[in-house]
């Protein structure tokens, strides 16, 4: 991490130690950093991502991710949570750093490096907070051209999500507190982009043993109503390690 005034290869163990780290850091080229959130949601059996209209003339009409600059003394994670909170009103949501994008040409206004975070949130629980009508859920399969390199960022985060959901059952964050197994399966199918066998899916999740039967049933469905379940976080935490590698 240390900046080397001369080529690193020319340094030796006799090189002078740097006394003033502050001067050193002040001499570094500095680059604006942003945090972008790829917020996944699930609605009408479709995986969606939350986007806003770009406010740059260059990208007029195009959609972009929710993001903001990282403040001078702000943790990266904190900046990402702040973006999430400002946009959705939520701060108790799962959020994970996925990748940093640093192409010098990715922003038309000059170099800006962005740290991409992915997040899953329940559309039903949060839709009331989203009043700004420039903010919309977009089907992940129908993303048109986006501002900046945001399409590439979404793609990367989508691949991350597909992998992640097979290692940890975090899909629950996208569902209402009580959900039917059909909803859960729809979610997995939407994320993985492939149909799954219903019986095997149910077997697998029951075997994981963190679904709690809440003793209620679906309402207003034009067929036999399914049982509703909720997620037992305690059981999940206890057995976590065992599911590294859930295949469908």
Partner DNA sequence: GCAAAAGTGTTGTCCTTACACCCATGC
Partner DNA sequence: GCATGGGTGTAAGGACAACACTTTTGC
**Exposed/middle/buried for residue 248 (C-beta within 10 Å: 0-12, 13-18, 19+):** middle
Q: What is the DSSP letter of 16?
A: P
Question: Binds 18, which of DNA, its own copies, none (CB < 5 to 8 A, cut-off by type)?
Answer: its own copies
Number of residues that bind its own copies (CB under 8 A): 78
Measured from the CB atom, the residue of 80 and 184 that comes closer to its own copies is 80
125 binds, among its own copies, DNA, none (CB under 5 to 8 A by kind): none
Binding to its own copies in span 185-244, by CB under 8 A: none
Q: How far apart are CA 127 and CA 133, in angstroms?
A: 12
Task: Measure the CA–CA gap between 202 and 196, rounded to whole angstroms.
Answer: 10
Is 24 a residue that touches its own copies (CB under 8 A)? yes
203 binds DNA (CB under 7 A): yes
Site for its own copies in 136-155 (CB under 8 A): 147-148, 150
Residue 182: Cβ within 10 Å count:
16
# chain residues binding DNA, by CB under 7 A? 22
Does residue 112 belong to the site contacting its own copies (CB under 8 A)?
Answer: yes
Question: Tokens representing 67?
Answer: 């993001």
The two three-digit tokens of residue 98, written as one number: 């996925």
How far is residue 137's CA from residue 37's CA, in Å, rounded to a whole number? 13
Compute the half-sphere exposure of residue 163: CA atoms within 13 Å on the CB side of its CA.
8
Where in 80-175 does DSSP place strands (E)? 95-101, 113-120, 135-139
The minimum distance between CB 161 and its own copies, in angstroms, equals: 15
> Site for DNA (CB under 7 A): which residue of 28, 222, 234, 241?
222
Pattern 145-184, binding to DNA, x per CB under 7 A?
-----------------------------------xxx--
Using the rule CB under 7 A, is 142 a contact of DNA? no
Give the footprint of DNA on this chain (CB under 7 A): 180-182, 197-200, 202-204, 217, 220-227, 246-248
């Amino acid at each position: 991490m240390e900046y080397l005034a001369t080529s690193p290869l020319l340094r030796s163990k006799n090189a002078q130690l740097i006394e003033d780290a502050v001067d050193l850091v002040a001499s570094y080229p500095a680059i604006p950093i942003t945090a972008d959130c790829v917020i996944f949601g699930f609605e009408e059996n479709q995986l969606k991502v939350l986007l806003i209209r770009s406010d740059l003339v260059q990208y007029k009409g195009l959609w972009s991710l929710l993001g903001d600059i990282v403040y001078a003394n702000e943790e990266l994670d904190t900046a990402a949570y702040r973006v999430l909170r400002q946009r959705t009103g939520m701060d108790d949501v799962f959020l994970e750093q996925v990748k940093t994008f640093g192409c010098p040409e990715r922003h038309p206004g000059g170099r800006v490096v962005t740290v991409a975070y992915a997040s899953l949130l329940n559309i039903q629980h949060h839709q009331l907070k989203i009043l700004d009508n420039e903010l919309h859920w977009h089907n992940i399969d129908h993303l048109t051209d986006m501002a900046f390199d945001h399409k590439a960022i979404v793609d990367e985060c989508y691949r991350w999500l597909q992998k992640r959901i097979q290692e940890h059952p975090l899909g629950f964050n996208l569902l209402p507190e009580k959900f039917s197994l059909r909803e859960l399966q729809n979610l997995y199918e939407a994320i993985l982009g492939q149909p799954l066998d219903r019986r095997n899916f149910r077997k697998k999740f029951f075997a994981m043993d963190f679904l709690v039967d809440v003793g209620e049933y679906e309402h207003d469905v034009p067929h036999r109503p399914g049982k509703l379940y909720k997620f037992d976080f305690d059981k999940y935490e206890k057995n976590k390690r065992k599911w590294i590698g859930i295949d469908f």
